[in-house]
Structure 1
């Protein structure tokens, strides 16, 4: 019969690929970890790890058990969270992975309001491109993801979406600043800055290039949304950004934003995503409610 301690020790070794590191993370002796692994292997009748001088590797049987051990550990986290909730302790951590644009306005405000209500709950915030947000959610390294035009994956679910048209962002005195809308083909003559290919923005621009048979040579490629904002604000050329990345700059008249007329740019979305089928911890569910409200305001 499996004991939780067996699975906890096994999962620690599977994650660290080292009995010594697992023992350190569990604050127990290496011999205790080795004994638990041995007991588990005897009970199952198969080796779970291949031992080698640099550590351990999961066997095929170990990989099967690791999959179920991970789900068990996630379920245990929820049990603890729900028990804490019943006892009104409200402790825990919400783990969020977001595109950088989410850091500019929406998430700081949501975190502020959430922390006022639940001061004992901490927040861990990771920043990635849209592809990285999806990967982080799939790896269960975050509870919630905020992405722009996230790439499809069958195991990722969008629990809230808000249309976020893509804009050509420029300085207020730029030649295109007064236009009602503009096509990508009309911007080829201007210096252009693009994010790298892990960003939903870049994937949209690449779709437009492909459908319109265009080829844009950016003068700047970056993994920073803030750099794209600065590029536009300082009059260096054209950057492509969603509204929630630049609404403060527009409000303060530091940037002019012209909607892109090309079809893919008109149908982009900001999305809150989760790992399909995963039960969220209670603090993450309550944070999700706050984030959904904030997303609906992005118009």
Structure 2
């Protein structure tokens, strides 16, 4: 039987791709990790890692075990959280995958409030596209997904949703900065800064452009919201985002947001989602409740 210690050691090695770095994270000697990996290879009857000049790589068997190890360790953590709740403790860890555009205006304030209420909870936060979130929720790599236009699936449950109108976002000196409302035809005449096609906001924009018989060709295409904002602040082009995503920059006067005609472009749906077939811990339930309340106030 594979021990929990060996599985955790191997999981750390698989993520670090280095025995020395894994040992430093685990605060043990590299030889202790090597012994556990040797034991795993003996039990499974297959090599799991290959050592090379550039570090460690996983064999095909190692890749399979690494994927299972992550799921098993996360499941054990959830059991520990449930036991802690039974003992009256308020501890746990929540893994979130979110769209970058919801961090400043929604996620950060909500989690700060949650930290004041439940000081022993911890959070893992990754930025991802909506399609990536669906897979992470299914694998158990994420407890919660928070994104624009999450794809609808039978096993992905929208816990709460809200709608935000799109705006064109530009530097104060941009020709569009003084407009009261913009059409997609007007946007098409300017240099655009848009996310990749895998992002829900981009997909909604493409659908609206098709209906309006407009072709929107981005001059700049990047998944990084910070890169998008930096380009817009420097006058490089026009963003299409809900105002919440650039609220701080607009307050500072670095950017200006102008509404896009609501008859042309549907509102951005923000979805807070979970995986239907996974029991939720106290920490996840508490986080969901707070984020759902925050969604109602944006």
Q: Same fold (TM over 0.5)?
A: yes
CA separation in 1, counterparts of 2:42 and 2:56? 17
Shift of the 129–37 alpha-carbon distance from structure 1 to 2, 3 Å rule, reads closer
User: Is the 1:193–1:228 contact (alpha carbons within 8 Å) kept by the matching residues of 2?
Assistant: no
**What is the Cα deviation at residue 290 of structure 1?**
1.0
Shift of the 7–221 alpha-carbon distance from structure 1 to 2, 3 Å rule, reads closer
CA separation in 1, counterparts of 2:33 and 2:244? 49
Q: TM-score, normalised by structure 1?
A: 0.74
User: Is the 2:193–2:237 contact (alpha carbons within 8 Å) kept by the matching residues of 1?
Assistant: no
Q: Which residue of 1 aligns with 2:225?
A: 224
Secondary structure, counterpart of 1:10 in structure 2? helix
**What is the Cα deviation at residue 286 of structure 1?**
0.9
Shift of the 239–64 alpha-carbon distance from structure 1 to 2, 3 Å rule, reads closer
CA separation in 1, counterparts of 2:34 and 2:230? 53
CA separation in 1, counterparts of 2:293 and 2:91? 23
CA separation in 1, counterparts of 2:109 and 2:56? 44
Shift of the 175–28 alpha-carbon distance from structure 1 to 2, 3 Å rule, reads closer
User: Is the 2:49–2:62 contact (alpha carbons within 8 Å) kept by the matching residues of 1?
Assistant: no
User: Is the 2:168–2:241 contact (alpha carbons within 8 Å) kept by the matching residues of 1?
Assistant: yes
User: In the alignment, is residue 65 of structure 1 matched against residue 55 of structure 2?
Assistant: no
CA separation in 1, counterparts of 2:230 and 2:200? 16
CA separation in 2, counterparts of 1:5 and 1:30? 14
Q: Which residue of 2 aligns with 1:109?
A: 109
Q: Which runs of 5+ in 1 are unaligned?
A: none
Q: Which residue of 2 aligns with 1:207?
A: 207
**What is the Cα deviation at residue 281 of structure 1?**
4.1
Q: RMSD across aligned C-alpha pairs, in angstroms?
A: 3.9
User: Is the 1:99–1:147 contact (alpha carbons within 8 Å) kept by the matching residues of 2?
Assistant: yes
**What is the Cα deviation at residue 74 of structure 1?**
0.6
User: Is the 1:168–1:260 contact (alpha carbons within 8 Å) kept by the matching residues of 2?
Assistant: no
User: Is the 2:165–2:267 contact (alpha carbons within 8 Å) kept by the matching residues of 1?
Assistant: yes
Aligned positions, number: 288
User: Is the 2:94–2:122 contact (alpha carbons within 8 Å) kept by the matching residues of 1?
Assistant: yes
CA separation in 1, counterparts of 2:66 and 2:269? 35
Shift of the 229–24 alpha-carbon distance from structure 1 to 2, 3 Å rule, reads closer
Q: Which residue of 2 aligns with 1:260?
A: 262
**What is the Cα deviation at residue 291 of structure 1?**
0.6
Q: Which residue of 2 aligns with 1:270?
A: 270
Superposed CA deviations along residues 245-290 of structure 1, whole A, max 9, x for unmatched, are 367869x9x644243323xx32641112345644444312211111
User: Is the 1:168–1:259 contact (alpha carbons within 8 Å) kept by the matching residues of 2?
Assistant: no
Shift of the 187–25 alpha-carbon distance from structure 1 to 2, 3 Å rule, reads closer
Q: Which residue of 2 aligns with 1:195?
A: 194
User: Is the 1:130–1:199 contact (alpha carbons within 8 Å) kept by the matching residues of 2?
Assistant: yes
User: Is the 2:85–2:282 contact (alpha carbons within 8 Å) kept by the matching residues of 1?
Assistant: yes
User: Is the 2:156–2:276 contact (alpha carbons within 8 Å) kept by the matching residues of 1?
Assistant: yes
Q: Which residue of 2 aligns with 1:185?
A: 185
**What is the Cα deviation at residue 118 of structure 1?**
0.8
Structure 1 residues 27-66: aligned runs within 5 Å? 27-44=27-44, 46-54=45-53, 55-66=55-66
Q: Which runs of 5+ in 2 are unaligned?
A: none
Structure 1 residues 1-299: aligned runs within 5 Å? 1-44=1-44, 46-54=45-53, 55-128=55-128, 130=130, 142-150=142-150, 157-168=157-168, 176-177=179-180, 179=181, 183-189=183-189, 191-197=190-196, 199-217=199-217, 223-224=224-225, 228=229, 231=232, 239-242=239-242, 244-245=244-245, 255-262=257-264, 265-266=265-266, 268-274=268-274, 277-298=277-298
Q: TM-score, normalised by structure 2?
A: 0.74
Secondary structure, counterpart of 1:266 in structure 2? coil
